[in-house]
Amino acid sequence: MKPFVLCTLAALLAAALPYPVSAVHVVSTVTDQTGVALTIYHQNLGLVKDRREVRLPKGAGELRFMDVAAQVIPSSVSIASRGGDGLTVLEQNYEYDLLSPQKLMDKYVGKEVRLYQKNVYTEREEEVAATLLSTNGGAVYRIGNDITFNHPGRVVFPSVPDDLIARPTLVWLLESLQDKPQTLEAVYLTGGITWRADYVVTLDEQVGRADLAGWVTIDNRSGATYRNASLKLVAGDVNRVREEAPRLMKGMRAEAMVAAAPPFQEEGLFEYHLYTLQRPSTIRDNQTKQISLVTATAVPVKKEFVLRGEQSVFSGPSGAPKAKQKIGVFVEMVNRTEHHLGMPLPKGVLRVYTRDAEGGLQFVGEDAVDHTPENETVRVRLGDAFDVVGERTQTDWKKLAADTYETAFEIVLRNHKKEEVTVKVVEPVPGDWKMVSASHPHTKGSAFTAEFLIPVPKNGEAKLSYRVRMRY
């Protein structure tokens, strides 16, 4: 063949390959890591910034970036040299075909393996060469001219196929203009990691005060460990486009760890709030970690009894003469600096405890709380009152016109406690309404609610009666 033809063929082959035949393969593991920053969001999402010191040869080369999160979102990946220009990304891939016994067997279908079996007479292990024909429902082998399955011995493979890897890996084809160590930073989003806030309130009813402790609970199922990470948390609901992305789910186990820590530093970030831990922290894979967020003592609290009516009782005459009503118990506190708080509180679950006659803590209820900015009220529903009960009776119903109605109610409140209580009665009156008469003053909580504050004496009862006209 003529030299010109050989050169042309070589050029065509080189153009067809994904990278030059002479490209160098560089492997980077977590041992090259010089720093990692982790930002965690509420929506099962984390932003990882992984910095590593890697020596890349001049020219085109393949970088295998190992020890990344198993739930990395491939379309979010980027890499750059922190030393400036001189690095061009030609191609990037995410390889997640992980090594396992079954996948190793599948890759060797049609290839030769070695079978080892112990001879029961000589008690020595004997070796035989075999061709793996199938793994469908079990391994089928050809040994010489014979076909067999359910081999009792062990299978030995000559090597691991190139397309099977031990752990998820990011692969880049890079063009480097310099031959020296570089600080590379890979940035990517990963699923499988989230955080929430948990609050514990110890309530002292006698003095109307409470102690509050807030914790950040981080749950890491992303498939990676973040050692000595610079940790940031974003409070707020970040909009995301839902898309299908490769995922690897690992076996889950929970490891609870309580770590004493200085408070987080809070700052505004766009329309969200950012909390930065003032020290590095290691977030291990398959670990649940708690870190102190906020503590406050002697916070003023207010307890409230609320009877909330149902709008259906205003739609027509009631068939039942009396209806029992549950009275909810709420506690609230204001997130103010003078109340020993003041930092914007991220959403989470708030659990309330109080002390019994012997001084022991007892759980009295919990509720989900939303993001609470400074100077806003945290309000928690603990449950229903046991010793304060309500009873409703509809005493009248009239249709005055095609769109106008009038109804009257009597609500009896009974208090079996040893102290007086005040019950807030909230009535969701529909339409354009006017209070015709009432035994107690009322206020408009909103356009469609009438609110009454009813004092109920200890071991006694109080009655609220009112008549309202509605137009709808």
Map tokens 């199922």 to a residue. Answer: 221
CA distances to 180, 239, 241, 421, 428 from 244, in Å: 39, 16, 10, 55, 44
**In 3-state terms, what secondary structure has residue 15?**
helix
308 Cβ contact list (under 8 Å, min separation 6)? 328, 426, 428
> 13 falls in which pLDDT band (50, 70, 90)?
very low
Q: What is the pLDDT of residue 428?
A: 95
What would the pLDDT profile of 95-137 be if each residue is shown by its tens digit?
A: 766 677 888 888 889 999 999 888 878 888 888 999 999 998 8
pLDDT at site 85 = 66
| Average of per-residue pLDDT values in the chain | 85
Which is nearest to 371 in space by CA: 248, 245, 272?
A: 272
Per CATH, which fold does 302-327+385-471 belong to? Immunoglobulin-like (2.60.40)
Edge-first strand order for the sheet with 287-300 is 256-259, 287-300, 209-220, 193-204, 348-355, 361-369
- pLDDT, residue 92, reads 84
The pLDDT value given to residue 454: 97
Question: Cα–Cα distances in Å, from 29 out to 50, 168, 355?
Answer: 11, 11, 52
Quote the CA–CA distance of 423 and 453 in Å, as a whole number.
Answer: 6
Look at residue 422 in the predicted model and tell me its pLDDT. 96
CA-CA-CA-CA dihedral for 77, 82, 88, 90, to nearest 10: -20
Each residue of 174-220: pLDDT tens digit?
988 888 888 999 999 999 999 999 999 999 988 789 999 999 999 99
pLDDT digits (tens, 9 = 90+) for 298-332: 999 999 999 999 888 898 887 667 788 899 999 99
Instruction: Say what the pTM is.
Output: 0.69
- Give tens-digit pLDDT for 16-28: 444 444 457 898 9
pLDDT tens string 443-461 = 998 888 999 999 999 999 9
Nearest-angstrom CA–CA distance, 417 and 415: 6
Is 9's pLDDT higher than 70?
no
What is the per-residue DSSP string for 29-74? -GGGEEEEEEEEETTTEEEEEEEEEEEE-SEEEEEEEES--TTB-G
Q: What is the pLDDT of residue 105?
A: 86
What is the pLDDT averaged over residues 337-350? 90
Pairing of strands 281-283, 348-355: unpaired
Give the pLDDT band of residue 266 (cuts 50, 70, 90).
confident
- Position 170 pLDDT exceeds 50: yes
Q: How confident is the model at residue 385 (pLDDT cuts 50, 70, 90)?
A: very high
Give the percent of the chain with pLDDT over 90. 54
Distance CA 364, CA 65 (A): 51
Q: Which of 187, 168, 198 is nearest to 71 (CA)?
A: 168
DSSP string computed for 75-144: GG-EEEETT-S-EEEEEEEEE--B--HHHHHHHTTTSEEEEEEE-TTT--EEEEEEEEEE-TTS-EEEET
| More reliable by pLDDT, 465 or 102 | 465
Structure tokens at 436: 């015709």
Helix (H) or strand (E) holding 16, with range, is: helix 3-16
3-class secondary-structure state, position 380: strand
Give 248's pLDDT tier (boundaries 50, 70, 90). very low
Whether residue 395 has pLDDT greater than 90:
yes
Contacting residues for 147 by C-beta, under 8 A, at least 6 apart: 133, 140, 141
Condensed to tens digits (0 to 9), the pLDDT of residues 66-95 reads: 889 989 998 899 999 887 667 888 898 877
Boundaries of every domain in the chain: 101-156, 302-327+385-471
What is the distance between the alpha carbons of residues 456 and 415, in angstroms, rounded to a whole number? 6
Which pLDDT band holds residue 8 (cuts at 50, 70, 90)?
very low
pLDDT(411) > 90? yes
pLDDT score of 50? 96
Considering only residues 115 and 241, tell me which one the structure prediction assigns the higher pLDDT: 115
Note the pLDDT of residue 242.
Answer: 62
- Cα-based distances in Å from 350 to 179, 203, 208, 259, 380: 56, 12, 18, 20, 8
Residue 130 burial (CB < 10 Å; 0-12/13-18/19+)? buried
